[in-house]
Structure 1
Amino acid sequence: MYLTLRDRPGGKSGSKSPSRAAPRIATTVVLLGIVSLLTDVSSEMVSAVLPLYLTAELGLGVLAYGFVDGLYQGVSALLRIGGGYVSDRSNRPKWVATTGYALSALSRVGMLVAHSLGPISAVVTADRLGKGLRTAPRDAIIADSSDPKALGRAFGVHRTLDTIGAAIGPLVAFSMLLLVPGDYNSVWIVSAGFAAVGVAVIVLFVPNHRAKTARTAQNVRQLLREVTGPRLRRPLVAAGLLALFTVGDGFLYLSLQERDHFAAKYFPLLYVGTNIAYLLLAIPFGRLADRIGRTRVFLGGHVALLLVYLFAAGPFTGLSATIVVLALIGTYYAATDGVLPALVTPLVDPQARGSGIAAAQTVVVLARFASSLAFGSLWLLLGSTHALYLVAGLLAVTLAVAVWLLRAVAAAPTTEAAA
């Protein structure tokens, strides 16, 4: 990993770099990665035990979990566009992102008094609203801090640090429940502590990074014209269609547990396995996306997701089959999570960068919200195996449509080229 003392690429340094040297990753990107690491330790501590907490501890059914998982996936959409727009309009992305991180940190405390579906839904909603508010401004800062030719690698570095936290969180939760079985309140308290440290880091150390080019205030009509323009329309439609057939991790893990009957206390380790695969692949896939094309890597990630469904539903059992499924889920995230904003960034005017990234993320989370609700119903009607086979078939058809939608994106003029 290369770091630079200059946040903006192209700044003067003590010595000249060789012309073929890889663009350096800005310090701001690493600092935001540390913030995300701490925040993900907090959030994954909760999400890793939430399926069991709802179904085993509180006695709620799979459909109730599907509702909460839908909230977890989709509620952030309510503020993503707003967060991106306020960030673009005010040119203060750090403080918009900080507000989102603080809201999520406060929601952790709410888990201490949430013992039924209603209060838990409210806490999850607050957490996801915080995520929705912070994500686009944070990704806009990453894009503004990075060399346009290395956007995939920059987002890969950030997602790698983010995923280290996502791997640590379930381990912490698992260890606590192993030492004191059923002590979920301790999990919620420690989770809140990690989130508070993350807020402190962004407040104290992350600069309020501004766009490289001067921003002009845009009204809502101008914003809509930018994010629905011809450059961005096809990627948004493709990403939304693919997300409609993205089954939430919790459902996949519950399916594995139902199939292999492993002890509930090992459930959080499934999240660790996925995050280790993501951690190992995020930077290589980011570099690959910069080299061979971000649309190719993005689509390849969904091929990995299709394999996840087939392996999770198929006649494959035991530890080795579970490891394959977890590795494929991590591959899917490494090829899509950071690659999507890297794909979108060159297609949007820098003055609306936060809003453009937010538009893509909003389409995805809204589609995943619908997917979670639908899959919970399919599970009850068909069982987990047949439900996964059905979604796999639908995803295969959608992949063909997405290939057609995205085939012209690589050849489309970008904002950097226009400038």
Structure 2
Amino acid sequence: MYLADRSAPQGAPRSAPDRVRGTVRAVSPTVLALGTVSLITDVSSEMVTAVLPLYLVMGLGLSPLGFGMLDGLQNGVSALVQLTGGHLADRVRNHKLVAGIGYGLSALCRPLLLVHDVGALGTALALDRTGKGLRTAPRDALISLSAPPERQGRAFGVHRAMDTTGALLGPMLAFLILGVAAGGYDAVFAVSGCVAALGVLVLLLFVPGGRKAAPEAAGRTPGAREQAPGAGEQAPGEAGGGPPRVDLRAAFGLLRTRRLRALFVCAVLLGLTTVSDAFLYLLVQRRTGIDEQLFPLLPLGTAAVFLLLALPVGRLADRVGRRAVFLAGHAGLLLAYALLLWAPAVPALPYLVLVLHGVFYAATDGVLPAAVAAVVPERLRASGIALVGTGQALARFCCSLAFGAAWAAWGDGPALAAAAAGLACCAAVAGAALRPTGDPR
């Protein structure tokens, strides 16, 4: 089975006018508007993310285990709420409304970051992750409904590139504010709240409402409009010829389909061995001795590579199949772990690790929802994306807790070695589970 089937005909030549028209039609206004919202919101969130590990560990004296619990809490809350957001968006048939509530909640919780207390910070981060969980599946469903199947990877690639532009600008802005503002971390948190409010305003003004597909998606052939879950499999809620149901039973019933179940299991397995970004940057800082003042710039390396590769890798996934691209991304992450464990501390080490980290995100972050969108019906699109995203996020929640505990008990090196061994095993299992019958790729 494929991670996602390729819908575009292979090897068919196209004339120059066709290629130009294909480029123009490749991205809808909905994707561009959502990309703008994500860009602004990511400037806000990454300003906080860039300074938070150092602020908690160095400023508030949090232990690695305590930081792992707090970091895991963010992923866990987001995971649990993501399923609610996806189902609610399909149920009310208004993806923009649910996404807007999520963006608004993340903006409203920013003032809590100004309270110098671990409990208040934990509450603020939990609310922020709640907002992220609510908006992720409806937003990705809007993207998938705005593009035909053969250009899903490209649409997600454009969105992720714009999103990552915000991730690139956020740490730079935090670095500048820390250097010139008297308030230090408080100034970063205050500016972050203002930027988040701007993102909500752009969503309300420029993103179309409802769940109607954009012209690109509406122009598909009848056979491609809603892909069947699999050969011989019936989409949940379609029996009896009545109107399609959108309820929890139909949403969880998607896991009965073979291809979505394989995606879900593999996302969970690989998530269990994916060390969080914050821990990875702390490892880079400890391994290379980077000055604490430069720590907020570390995410820039990941974001820059992600920005450059998101669109070309998305297009590559549309052409060669998403399974190979998805697994190659995890291979890049495994190589980054190996460099941190065994490579000498040369000046190029942090650059190499951050490049591989960016490759990992370019090959996985947009490819996975594009793969899910190809195997679930449109009326349950947000629910299907949320199911897989929830499984992956819960797995990463468990990984954060386990990695923090392992670091506290054994040290950072043995903890990373255990994560690398687990990732290698899980990637091998995922590769076997996603291999299509009779097709070597």
The normalised TM-score by structure 1 is 0.91
- Summarize the alignment of residues 82-161 of structure 1 with structure 2, pairs less than 5 Å apart: 82-113=84-115, 115-161=116-162
> Equivalents in 2 of 1:259, 1:148: separation in Å?
43
Q: Give 1:409 deviation, angstroms.
A: 8.6
Structure 1: any 5+ residue segments left out of the alignment? 1-15, 412-419
Paired letter, 1:86: L
Residue of structure 1 equivalent to 2:275: 247
Q: Give 1:181 deviation, angstroms.
A: 6.5
Residue of structure 1 equivalent to 2:51: 49
Residue of structure 1 equivalent to 2:355: 327
Residue of structure 2 equivalent to 1:313: 341
Q: Give 1:182 deviation, angstroms.
A: 6.2
Answer yes or no: is the 8 Å Cα contact 1:252–1:312 preserved in 2.
no
> Equivalents in 2 of 1:95, 1:356: separation in Å?
18
Deviations 1:113-134 (A, max 9, x none): 2x22221111100000000000
> Equivalents in 1 of 2:362, 2:349: separation in Å?
20
Q: Give 1:95 deviation, angstroms.
A: 0.7
- Summarize the alignment of residues 28-43 of structure 1 with structure 2, pairs less than 5 Å apart: 28-43=30-45
Answer yes or no: is the 8 Å Cα contact 2:181–2:187 preserved in 1.
no
1:361–1:410 Cα change, 3 Å: farther
Residue of structure 2 equivalent to 1:195: 196
Q: Give 1:226 deviation, angstroms.
A: 1.9
Paired letter, 1:359: L
Aligned structure 1 segments of 4 or more residues deviating by more than 6 angstroms: none
1:284 aligns with 2:312: yes
Answer yes or no: is the 8 Å Cα contact 2:144–2:373 preserved in 1.
yes
Residue of structure 1 equivalent to 2:261: 233
**Which of 29, 33, 57 is the equivalent residue of 1:27?**
29
Q: Give 1:17 deviation, angstroms.
A: 5.5
Residue of structure 2 equivalent to 1:164: 165
2:203 aligns to what SS in structure 1? helix
**Which of 409, 413, 423 is the equivalent residue of 1:381?**
409
Residue of structure 2 equivalent to 1:74: 76
Answer yes or no: is the 8 Å Cα contact 1:83–1:137 preserved in 2.
yes
Paired letter, 1:334: A
Structure 2: any 5+ residue segments left out of the alignment? 1-15, 214-224, 227-242
> Equivalents in 2 of 1:370, 1:182: separation in Å?
35
Residue of structure 1 equivalent to 2:369: 341
**Which of 326, 332, 354 is the equivalent residue of 1:304?**
332
Deviations 1:344-374 (A, max 9, x none): 1111111101100011110110000000000
2:348 aligns to what SS in structure 1? helix
1:18 aligns with 2:18: yes
Deviations 1:186-238 (A, max 9, x none): 10110001100000000011001424479844222122112442231011001
Deviations 1:313-337 (A, max 9, x none): 2232133110000000000000000
Q: Give 1:298 deviation, angstroms.
A: 0.6
Residue of structure 2 equivalent to 1:260: 288
Paired letter, 1:299: L
1:409–1:74 Cα change, 3 Å: farther
Residue of structure 1 equivalent to 2:5: none
> Equivalents in 1 of 2:54, 2:183: separation in Å?
10
1:200–1:409 Cα change, 3 Å: farther
Residue of structure 2 equivalent to 1:5: none
Answer yes or no: is the 8 Å Cα contact 2:343–2:349 preserved in 1.
no
Q: Percent identity?
A: 48
Answer yes or no: is the 8 Å Cα contact 2:78–2:393 preserved in 1.
yes
Paired letter, 2:176: S
Paired letter, 1:109: P
> Equivalents in 2 of 1:355, 1:78: separation in Å?
13
Answer yes or no: is the 8 Å Cα contact 1:145–1:209 preserved in 2.
no
> Equivalents in 1 of 2:418, 2:89: separation in Å?
40
Answer yes or no: is the 8 Å Cα contact 1:70–1:370 preserved in 2.
yes
Answer yes or no: is the 8 Å Cα contact 2:171–2:299 preserved in 1.
yes
Q: Give 1:304 deviation, angstroms.
A: 0.5
> Equivalents in 2 of 1:204, 1:217: separation in Å?
31
1:183 aligns with 2:211: no
Pairwise CA RMSD of aligned residues? Answer: 1.8
Answer yes or no: is the 8 Å Cα contact 1:239–1:363 preserved in 2.
yes
Paired letter, 1:134: R
> Equivalents in 1 of 2:438, 2:314: separation in Å?
16
The normalised TM-score by structure 2 is 0.86
> Equivalents in 2 of 1:390, 1:258: separation in Å?
18
2:22 aligns to what SS in structure 1? coil
> Equivalents in 1 of 2:359, 2:60: separation in Å?
33
> Equivalents in 1 of 2:289, 2:352: separation in Å?
17
Deviations 1:129-180 (A, max 9, x none): 0000000000000000112101001000000000000010011111111223
Paired letter, 1:290: D
1:130–1:90 Cα change, 3 Å: same
1:207 aligns to what SS in structure 2? coil
> Equivalents in 1 of 2:59, 2:183: separation in Å?
8
> Equivalents in 2 of 1:318, 1:119: separation in Å?
40
Answer yes or no: is the 8 Å Cα contact 1:166–1:272 preserved in 2.
yes
Residue of structure 1 equivalent to 2:394: 366
Answer yes or no: is the 8 Å Cα contact 1:227–1:348 preserved in 2.
no
